[in-house]
Amino acid sequence: MKSILTLIFILFLASFSEAQKLLPDNLQKAFDNSVDDSARFIFSRPIYTFYEETNRDSALHYAQIRYAIAKKNNRRLEEAYTQGQMAYQQIFLGRFSEALTNLSEAMQIATSSSEAPTWELTVYSSPGRNRELTLSMLNHMYGHLKLQTGSTESLQYFKKGAEIGKEINNDFRVTVGDMVLAANYLMLNQPDSALFYAKEGESYGIRGGISKYLAYIWSVMGNIYAKKGLDSLALSYYHKSLHTAIPESNFTVVAGVYENLINFYKRKGDADSVLLYATKFLAVVKSLGAITSFVTGNANLGAAYQNMADAYSLKNERDSTIKYMQVALAIKDSLTATKLSRLSAFQRLTLDEQLSLQNAEKERIREESRLRTFSLIGVIVAAVIIMLIIYRNNRQKQKAYNLLQKQKEETDIQKDKADKALQELKATQAQLIQSEKMASLGELTAGIAHEIQNPLNFVNNFSDVNRELLSELKEEAEKGELEEVKAIANDVIENSEKILHHGKRADAIVRGMLQHSRTSSGQKEPTDINALCDEYLRLSYHGLRAKDKSFNATLKTEFDESAGIINIIPQDIGRVIMNLLTNAFYALNERKQKNSLNYDPVVSISTKKINNSIQIKVTDNGNGIPQYIIDKIFQPFFTTKPTGQGTGLGLSLAYDIVKAHGGEIKVTSIEGTGSEFSIIMHSAG
């Protein structure tokens, strides 16, 4: 099997290599031999288009050449359009600041320019509407930038781009707009909206003959049907997408489909298919050279090597699994650091632009003030009486101006302090998050230790008894008392079976803990929610008991058997439950220390199926939460615990995890009586 996969991999690389060479080699001569800038601009377009979804670095290179030609010849709309092409590649290379600069300049040009004859911008041009065509394309690119930098404004930009495309009757702009809208809505867990845009985009793409991006629409439709549980229909669209994307050299789509197929066969447990598509996915990602994905997915080298590791893990080939896992972790760390660095630069650039706009507004106000002053001086010259009045007014204005200057200086001082505080906050944020993780790890470890201690005590006790029995057996054997020897031997056998039983019990506990404490893969999986809640209840309680042996509490559970199996990321939801339970036990301990008389600490956890949702409740009879702070408890870094006992990140992270699952988390509390946290997981089952 290995030799077959190796052969497929070599042939696959060869096919991609050949596809990359054929078209550019034919066009390169025409481009190099062109002496006229307009011809060079036109010949560079199909070269850029070929590399557009094949190799990001090469595509960016030719986009920059096109921009330089346009700028040299003062072709304004051509400048704006090519800056949009540059931004498209920069976004998926993780160069967010450069992309924002190009899009800002391009949008200003396209907005202020009038319609004029242009060189060929694209094969899908709209004659006489090139300015609107450029604006549609730039809005589309803004949508990609907003999406990749975590902004919720991406949808409005994608919709604006598609609307302009409809206004100018440009099938290409509508097709690509609907394409990313479908992917966006699927990412937001709205499959019906996603299917609407996918089908609309498919109709425009078929009408306009836009097969290059029809392939992506079919890939999204495959994801939609997979989400709806229609596996055979999903597979048919995945392969339909591949049959179109590979001849079109749209490696972005090819990578996405391979990733979808990898995830599909992972769910099926088909190790050979996972390895096959993981190998192909790795080859395509190497060709693309991107560090971010198109809309959804993980089309980068870190994800590619992770898929290889997962494939070999399914095949139980430990050495290969470890090898690819090590490479994946190293690359992921590097890519994450690069992306975070570039996001930070992007945020600084965004802030600088906002400050620049504010300064421009201040300059406009000052200019208007100077003009008014000149007008007043003219009036003063005309009449002495008016001059006296204006003189008095000017003195008052001078006082007001001095006051404003003083306020401005104070504002500048406050701004400097705020900037310094922001830097200090960022510097400590990473430490706080690490502290939160280590605190959770400590609680989990204490719970595990307690769970394992009981079976270990049995193993040790029965081992001691067996040792004594064997000594007696030896003595009785020497005496020749065979009946007594047999009786003792039966006792030894019975004790050995108990040792084996409790050893297996400890082994099961360890395997269960490892299952739930391993690093989250980010993939949802069917999970018994009742078992998960019960397990983390015991772990959190024993974790606190490990710290304070004097603490005791009554634990109550009420699990709805119909809740059953739900599709979640168990490590993440377990972290949420662990946090809520830990906070509940902390509240009980606080109240008990203040009033230990006639107080019975109680923590309860329950599940309940409500229509298509699952409700998880964690209730305590601790001190409760004061009403004046209850609206702040989910804010990052807000905590009521003493310094050093809490980071203020636990409930904030819990809120984010539940929201990421499409659910919601609520709290009700009566001060002095207790609190109740409720998690609602929608679309359960």
- Condensed to tens digits (0 to 9), the pLDDT of residues 116-155 reads 788 888 888 878 888 999 999 999 999 988 888 877 788 8
- C-alpha 323/C-alpha 18 separation (Å) is 30
Residue range(s) defining the domain that contains residue 334: 263-366
**What band does 181 get if pLDDT is binned at 50, 70 and 90?**
very high
Asked if 163 and 199 sit in the same domain, the reply is no
Same domain for 313 and 189, yes or no, is no
Q: Are residues 673 and 556 in the same domain?
A: yes
Residue 233: how many other CB atoms lie within 10 Å: 15
**What H or E segment, with its residue span, contains residue 234?**
helix 231-245
List pLDDT tens digits, range 495-512.
788 788 778 667 656 655
In this structure, are 65 and 144 located in the same domain?
yes
Query: What does the pLDDT look like over 333-347, one tens digit per residue?
Result: 565 555 445 445 544
For the chain, what is the domain count?
Answer: 4
Residues 76 and 146 in one domain: yes
Please provide the DSSP assignment of 497-549 as one string: HHHHHHHHHHHHHHHHHHHHHSPP-S--EEEEHHHHHHHHHHHHHHHHHHH-T
pLDDT band at 299 (very low <50, low <70, confident <90, very high): low
CA 150-156-159 angle, to 5 degrees, is 125
Same domain (yes/no): 244, 268: no
Give residue for tokens 């906002």. 354
Q: What is the pLDDT of residues 381-418, one digit of tens each?
A: 776 788 888 887 888 888 878 888 888 788 888 877 77
Q: State residue 384's pLDDT score.
A: 77
pLDDT at 11: 37
Q: Which region among 93-102, 209-218, 328-337 has the lowest average model confidence (pLDDT)?
A: 328-337
User: What average pLDDT score do residues 570-581 get?
Assistant: 88
Q: Is residue 354 predicted with pLDDT exceeding 50?
A: no
pLDDT computed for residue 441 by the predictor: 54
Of 249, 284, 315, the residue that ends a domain is: 249
Co-location of 32 and 143 in the same domain? yes
Please calculate the CA angle 73-75-76 and round it to the nearest 5 degrees: 140
What is the per-residue burial (b if ≥16 Cβ within 10 Å, else e) of 256-275?
Answer: bbbbbbbbbbbeeeebebbb
The whole-number average pLDDT for the span 184-199 is 90
What pLDDT, on the 0 to 100 scale, is given for residue 433?
Answer: 55
- Give yes or no: residues 272 and 310 share one domain: yes
State the pTM of this model: 0.46
Residue 325 pLDDT > 50: yes
Residues 532 and 668 both lie in one domain? yes
Domain presence at residue 487:
no
Specify whether 159 is located in the same domain as 181: no
Q: 668 has which bridge partners?
A: 676
